């Protein structure tokens, strides 16, 4: 089963609307990353969250980490067509003696003008 579940799988919004993407882990989170990917291209790092309750913002994108729920949310305010793409969450899930980096399957965001 997927260690990181993202929801929704896809999202279509009208320009100017707010939206939220969620990422839930089945394991304890030690670091949570958000990335954006244009189709067929490399990933662009957005932000990293490490502590429970931590919240970071980058332009109109805000991400929060809820350590207790093992969940992170990515919120986009007043969406623009430039926000369109695939948003991926990644997490550091440590196990004794090793570190493991896992990723969600992504949320495809379409922003209609």
Contact 11, 19 (CB under 8 A): yes
* Residue that the structure tokens 């799988």 belong to: 9
Closest CA relative to residue 32, chosen from 70, 83, 68, 58: 70
Among 44, 53, 82, 110, binds other proteins (CB under 8 A): 44
Among 18, 52, 58, 101, binds other proteins (CB under 8 A): 101
Instruction: Verify binding: residue 42, other proteins, rule CB under 8 A.
Output: yes
Among 27, 54, 62, 103, binds other proteins (CB under 8 A): 103
Cβ distance to other proteins smaller for residue 2 or 57: 2
Closest CA relative to residue 65, chosen from 76, 52, 47, 46: 52
Least distance from C-beta 18 to other proteins, angstroms? 26
Contact 107, 9 (CB under 8 A): yes
Where along the sequence are the contacts to other proteins (CB under 8 A)?
Answer: 2, 30-31, 33, 40-45, 48, 88, 90, 92, 98-106
């Amino acid at each position: 089963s997927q260690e990181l579940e993202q929801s929704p799988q896809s999202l279509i919004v009208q320009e100017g609307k707010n939206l939220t993407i969620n990422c839930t882990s089945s394991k304890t989170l030690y670091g949570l990353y958000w990335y954006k990917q244009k189709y067929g291209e490399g990933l662009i790092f957005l932000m990293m969250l490490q502590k429970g309750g931590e919240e970071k913002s980058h332009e109109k994108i805000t991400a929060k980490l809820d350590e207790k729920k093992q969940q992170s949310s990515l919120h986009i305010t007043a969406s623009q067509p430039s926000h369109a793409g695939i948003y991926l969450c990644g997490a550091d899930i440590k196990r004794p003696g090793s570190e493991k980096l896992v990723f969600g399957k992504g949320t495809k965001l379409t922003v209609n003008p």
